[in-house]
Structure 1
Amino acid sequence: MPPAPTRGRTLPAPTLPSIGLAKTLPRSCDVLIIGLSTQGVVAVPEAIEKAQTKRFGVSVTDLARSLGAKPDEGKTVILPAAGDGPRLLVAGLGADEPTPEGLRRVAGAAVRQAGGLAEEASLSIALALPAEDPETLQAVLEGALLGSYRYQPISAKTQHPQIDQLTVINDAKAGTDLVDRARIIAGAVAQARDWVNLPPNLLFPDSLAEDARALVRDARINVEVLDEKALQKGGYGGILGVGGGSSRPPRLVRFGYTPRGAKAHLALVGKGITFDSGGLNLKPGDSMYTMKSDMAGAAAVLSAISAIARLGLRVTVTGYAALAENLPSDTSYRPSDVLTMYGGKTVENGNTDAEGRLVMADAIVRAGEDKPDLIVDVATLTGACVVALGNRTSGLMAADDETADRVLDAAEAAGEAAWQLPIPTETRAKLDSKVADLRSTGTDRAGGALIAAAFLREFVPDNVGWAHLDIAGSAFNGGEPYGYTPAGGTGVAVRTLIALAESMQD
C-alpha cells in the first residue's frame, strides 16, 4: 500500500463579497433588503417608496402585507421591481426594536435569501435596516457578510459567486472603522467554516498546520509547528497516542501574538481531530460522516487569533491547535493503555473514542507554561453536551463563576449562545484509576460532558483561570441554514474568542 500523502490541498482564503456603506441607494443595486415591523416597513429609501407607490398604487407596506409579509423574524417576501429599480426583499424584524443579534440574524437570513435569486451574474445587494448606532450597524454589517458565505464545492465546474457587492445604507460617521472590523471578523468565521467543511482526505494534521502558517503569513503572529519527531522528543503522549493509528502523523501548532502595551495574557487551546473514526472503539458508520468537523475547536482558535492580530487588540494571545487523525490500525492506541502526558501525568485510556480530551490535555499543560492569566479551550468534545443543550448552544464549564461570567459575557456580546454547566465535586472520583494517575473516562455514562471537563481541569496549572467550551453540537449544522448560519461548518466560538480578547484589553 502506498503511503498516504503528507500534503493536501492548500486552502484558499474564503471569498466574501465586497461591503461598504452608502447614504443613498446605489444605482447598480439588484436587490434591496428592507425590514418589516408590526408598524410597517422600516427605513425604506424615499425614492423607492415613491416609485413603488406610483407603479402599484399602494405603499410598500401594503403591497408587502398583501403578498403575505409578516414581521416575524425569518419571514421574507420578495416584491416585484418598480420599473428599472431593484427587487425588494422584505424581511421580518421579529421586534419593533430588534437587538443587535436580532439584526445580525435578520441581515444574514435576508442576504442568504437574496443570493438565491442570482442566475447567470452575481448580484449587488443593498440593505436598509434600522441600524441607528454603532452596535446595531456593526451587527448588520457582520450579519450581511456571514449570511453571504457560500462553501465552494470541489468541482470541475466553474462556480461564480452569488453576490459580489453588499451595501448597507447608513450615514454613520464612524462607518469605515466598522466596515473594516466586520470584514475581519466575518473573514475569520468564514475561514473556520471553510476548514470544517473541507473533506478529511484534503485536510489532515500536516495540511491544516501549513494552512494555519499561510493564514497568518502577513500578520504579526509567530508560528511554531511541532511534527511527530518534536512531539516524541517533548513527551506529548496524548497527541502521539491518538494520532498513532494514522499514516498521517499529528502536529501541534502554536500561534503567538504579542502586541506592545499588552497587560493581559490569554491562552487559547483548540481540539483539532481532522477525522475521528473512534479508533479501535469504532463509531457506527452513520455517526462517522460528519467527523470531519471534529477539528472545529482548532479552526476557531486559529481563525480567532488571526482576527485578533488584524484588529490590533492590546492583549497577548498564545494559541495551541492539537492536530491528529484518529484511525484504527495495528499502531493504534488501545483501551487500557497507559499514556504519559506532556508534563508527566499518566492516564489510563478508557475509550479510544474519547480522544479529544487527550490531545487537549497535552496542549493545556503546554499553554500553562506560557503563564497566561486565562486559558480557554474549545472542543467538539462530547455527545453528552449535545444531549443536554441541543445543536445550537455551546456548553461552558469553568474553574470558577467569575471566569465563567467573563466568557458568557463575551459570548453574549458576540451573539453566540452558551450555557454554563457545573463540574460537581463528585465527578473527580469517577476518574480514579488503579494503574495510572487518572482515567480518561468515567465509570458510567452519566454526566459525560461534566466528566470530560473534570478531566481537562486536572491539567490546568494552579492559580490560572480556565474555561472550557464544548461545541460538539454548535460547530456543525447538519440541517437547513438559519439566520446567518449556513449548512455545514458554523464557525462557532470565533466571535466569542475575539470578544473575550477585547474585554481583556484594559
Structure 2
Amino acid sequence: MSENLPQVGRVSSRTQPTKPTKENEPVPTSALPSLTAASSLPRNADLLVVGLADTSDGPVLVGVPDDVEKAWAKRHGTSLLASAQSMGAAAKPGTTVVLPSTPGVVVTGLGGVDVTPEQVRRAAGNAVRAAAKVAGDRTLSVALSLETLEPEVLRGAAEGALLGAYGYAKETREATKRPIGSLTVLSAAKDAGAQVAEAATVATAVARARDWVNTPPNALYPESFAEAARALARDARLDVEVLDEKALARGGYGGILGVGGGSQRPPRLVRISYAPRGATTHLALVGKGITFDTGGLNLKPADGMITMKCDMAGAAAVIAAVRAIADLKLKVKVTAYAAMAENMPSGTAYRPSDVLTMYGGKTVENANSDAEGRLVMADAIVRAGEDDPDLIVDIATLTGACLVALGERVAGLMASDDETADDLLDAAEASGEAFWQLPIPDEVRANLSSEVADLASSGKTRYGGALTAAAFLQAFVADGVRWAHLDIAGPAWNGGAPYDYVPKGGTGAGVRTLVSLARSLAQRSGT
C-alpha cells in the first residue's frame, strides 16, 4: 500500500489524475489541507468561518472581526447577523449558511455560548464541509474565527476543521480536486501555534486510519497492511517487528493462523514499540486487523459483507495512534500489536468445532467462524502481556451485538475494573468520542464453557453477544494486568451521509481516545 499518507502542510491545490486500483498496486490516498494559526484574518482568505450562539439576550455572532462587521454593514446596509438570519442561520448545532462576499462568510451553529471542545469541533467540521460544497472549480483558503482561547477548545476547532476537510481519494482515471487547500485558525492565545500543531498531529492520525479503512480489500490485505505499518513506524524511528506466517507457526499463534488459513493471503502480526527515555508507565494497545471478513465457512449474507473491508479498523487505530503518540513526544511507553488476517472460505479454512491451540497454550473450541476477531485478538493479547504492561487496551470492530445495543455512533467499553473503565471514559470525553460502559457478568463467563477445550469462542445463546466476546478476551489477559476492551463496531464506519466532522465511510474511531489516554497516563506519571 502506498505510504503517501496525509501530512499536515501538504496542500492539494492542483488536480492529480489517478488510476483504478489493481491487485497488488498502490492505491491513492487522501490529503489534508495545510493548517496554521494566526492572530488576524489572512489577506488571501476566501471564506471566513464564524459562530452563532444562543445567549439569554438572543443569538449572537462569535468571532467576527470588527473590520469585517463594519465592511459588511457598509456594503449591504445591514448587520452580518441580520443577513445570516435572513438566510436561515441559527445557533442550533449542525446548522450552517454561506454568505457570498469577499471574503465569503460561513456561519455555523455553536449551540450555547459556553461551548465545549466537542461543540467547537463539530461546528468547525460542519463549517468546513459547507465551504467545500461551494468551492466549485476553486481550491479555497478558509479561516476559522470562533474566539478560541482555551487549549482544549482551540485544539477542538483545529481538529474539527481538518477532519471536516477529509476526503478519500476516489479510485478513478478522472482528475481528483481538493476543495480546501489551506486552513487558518484565528486565535489570540499565545500558544496557538503549538496547540494547532498538536491538533494537526492527532487529525493526521485519524485521517491515516480512515484511509486504511477506506482502501479496497484487494489493495489492503495482511501483507500490504503490515508493510504500510512498517513504513509508518520506521519513518518515525519506532521499533517494528512483523511476524509472517512461518514465524507465527513457529510461535504457536493458533488463533491468527486458524482465521487466516482459508485465504491465499497469509496473516501477519505487527508489533510497534515506542519507548521514550524517562517513561514510567507502559501502555499496550491491541487492534483487530481483519482486512476482509466473509464470515469464513459461516458465510455472511451478501448485504452484510459489502462493508467488511472495515473489519481492520481496530488495527488501523492502534497503528495510527502509536505514531501520533510518538510524534507528540508523550512520555509514556507504548507497545502496539496489530493482528492481521483475511477470513475466507476454502478447503483450508478453519471449521466450526475445530479446536485451536492459542499462543500461550490455551485451547479454544471454535463455535462460529464469523466470530474470528476475538481469536486473532486473543493471540495478540497474550503476546502483549509478555511485555509486562501496566494497562492493555484492545480495540476492535468486534460484534454486531454492540451495534444493536448502542447504535451506530456509540462504542462499547468493558474493563477489568471500574477505575480502568473511568480512565478510558475520561480519555474518550476529553477527545470527543462517545463510549458507554457495559458489564461482564459472571454468568456470561460461564457461558463459554466447552466439553472439548479450555473454553469455547462463543456463548451458547445469542443474547449478550458483546459481553460474551469481552469475557472471552479477558480470559487471555495476564493475571493482575489492568485491561479494557473497546468495541467500535458501530462508530468505525459511517454508511450514511457525512455529519459534523465525520465523513461517509471509515471514521478513524478510537484514535483520538487512545492518544488522549496516553496523554493522561504521561501526565499522571509526572513526566
Q: TM-score range by the shorter chain?
A: over 0.9
Distance 1:6 1:345, change over 3 A: farther
Q: CA–CA distance in 1 between the matches of 2:297 and 2:32?
A: 41
Q: Does 1:302 align with 2:319?
A: yes
Match of 1:476 in 2: 493
- 2:48 maps to a residue whose letter is L
Q: CA–CA distance in 1 between the matches of 2:325 and 2:468?
A: 31
Q: Does 1:248 align with 2:265?
A: yes
Q: Per-residue deviation at 1:10? A: 3.9
Q: Per-residue deviation at 1:25? A: 1.1
Q: Does 1:23 align with 2:39?
A: yes
Match of 2:119 in 1: 102
Q: Deviations over 1:344-393 (max 9, x none)?
A: 00000000000000000000000000000000000000000000000000
Distance 1:253 1:349, change over 3 A: same
Which secondary structure does the structure 1 equivalent of 2:177 belong to? coil
Q: CA–CA distance in 1 between the matches of 2:126 and 2:373?
A: 33
Match of 1:67 in 2: 87
Q: Does 1:55 align with 2:75?
A: yes
Q: Does 1:501 align with 2:508?
A: no
Which secondary structure does the structure 2 equivalent of 1:466 belong to? strand
Q: Per-residue deviation at 1:109? A: 1.1
Which secondary structure does the structure 2 equivalent of 1:94 belong to? strand
Q: CA–CA distance in 1 between the matches of 2:285 and 2:254?
A: 20
Q: Deviations over 1:23-45 (max 9, x none)?
A: 21111111111111123211101
Task: Choose which of 60, 71, 74 in structure 2 pairs with 1:40.
Answer: 60
Which secondary structure does the structure 2 equivalent of 1:266 belong to? strand
Q: CA–CA distance in 1 between the matches of 2:362 and 2:339?
A: 18
Q: Is the 8 A contact 1:74 1:483 kept in 2?
A: yes
- 1:72 maps to a residue whose letter is K
Match of 1:290 in 2: 307
Q: Is the 8 A contact 1:220 1:309 kept in 2?
A: no
Q: Is the 8 A contact 2:149 2:188 kept in 1?
A: no
Q: Deviations over 1:466-499 (max 9, x none)?
A: 0000000110000011111111000010000001
Match of 2:13 in 1: none
Match of 2:5 in 1: none
Q: Does 1:131 align with 2:148?
A: yes
Q: Does 1:428 align with 2:445?
A: yes
- Give matches, 1:49-448, under 5 Å: 49-81=69-101, 85-448=102-465
Q: Per-residue deviation at 1:131? A: 1.1
Which secondary structure does the structure 2 equivalent of 1:272 belong to? strand
Q: Is the 8 A contact 2:293 2:311 kept in 1?
A: yes
Q: CA–CA distance in 2 between the matches of 1:290 and 1:14?
A: 19
- 2:457 maps to a residue whose letter is S
Q: CA–CA distance in 2 between the matches of 1:206 and 1:51?
A: 58
Q: Deviations over 1:108-128 (max 9, x none)?
A: 111111111112221000111
Q: Is the 8 A contact 1:11 1:211 kept in 2?
A: no
How many residues get paired? Answer: 499
Distance 1:316 1:11, change over 3 A: farther
Q: Is the 8 A contact 1:6 1:206 kept in 2?
A: no
Q: CA–CA distance in 2 between the matches of 1:453 and 1:9?
A: 37
Q: List alignment gaps of at least 5 residues for structure 1.
A: none
- 1:479 maps to a residue whose letter is G
Q: Per-residue deviation at 1:220? A: 3.2
Cα RMSD over matched residues?
Answer: 1.3
Q: Is the 8 A contact 1:6 1:207 kept in 2?
A: no
Q: Per-residue deviation at 1:6? A: 12
Match of 2:18 in 1: none
Distance 1:308 1:234, change over 3 A: same
Q: Is the 8 A contact 1:8 1:204 kept in 2?
A: no
Q: Is the 8 A contact 1:267 1:374 kept in 2?
A: yes
Match of 2:8 in 1: none
Q: Per-residue deviation at 1:316? A: 0.6
Task: Choose which of 424, 428, 449 in structure 1 pairs with 2:466.
Answer: 449
Q: CA–CA distance in 2 between the matches of 1:9 and 1:459?
A: 37
Q: CA–CA distance in 2 between the matches of 1:480 and 1:97?
A: 28
Q: CA–CA distance in 2 between the matches of 1:68 and 1:156?
A: 39
Q: Is the 8 A contact 2:381 2:477 kept in 1?
A: yes
Q: Is the 8 A contact 1:184 1:307 kept in 2?
A: yes
Which secondary structure does the structure 2 equivalent of 1:142 belong to? helix
Q: CA–CA distance in 1 between the matches of 2:320 and 2:189?
A: 29
Which secondary structure does the structure 2 equivalent of 1:70 belong to? coil
Q: CA–CA distance in 2 between the matches of 1:70 and 1:183?
A: 29
Which secondary structure does the structure 1 equivalent of 2:113 belong to? coil
Q: Per-residue deviation at 1:21? A: 1.4
Percent sequence identity is 63
Q: Per-residue deviation at 1:429? A: 1.2
Q: TM-score, normalised by structure 2?
A: 0.93
Distance 1:433 1:6, change over 3 A: farther
Q: Deviations over 1:387-409 (max 9, x none)?
A: 00000001000011011001111
Q: Is the 8 A contact 2:271 2:336 kept in 1?
A: yes
Q: Per-residue deviation at 1:46? A: 1.2
Q: Per-residue deviation at 1:22? A: 1.5
Which secondary structure does the structure 1 equivalent of 2:136 belong to? coil
Q: CA–CA distance in 1 between the matches of 2:97 and 2:40?
A: 23
Q: Is the 8 A contact 2:29 2:169 kept in 1?
A: no
Which secondary structure does the structure 1 equivalent of 2:111 belong to? coil
Q: Per-residue deviation at 1:275? A: 0.2
Distance 1:309 1:159, change over 3 A: same
- 1:37 maps to a residue whose letter is A
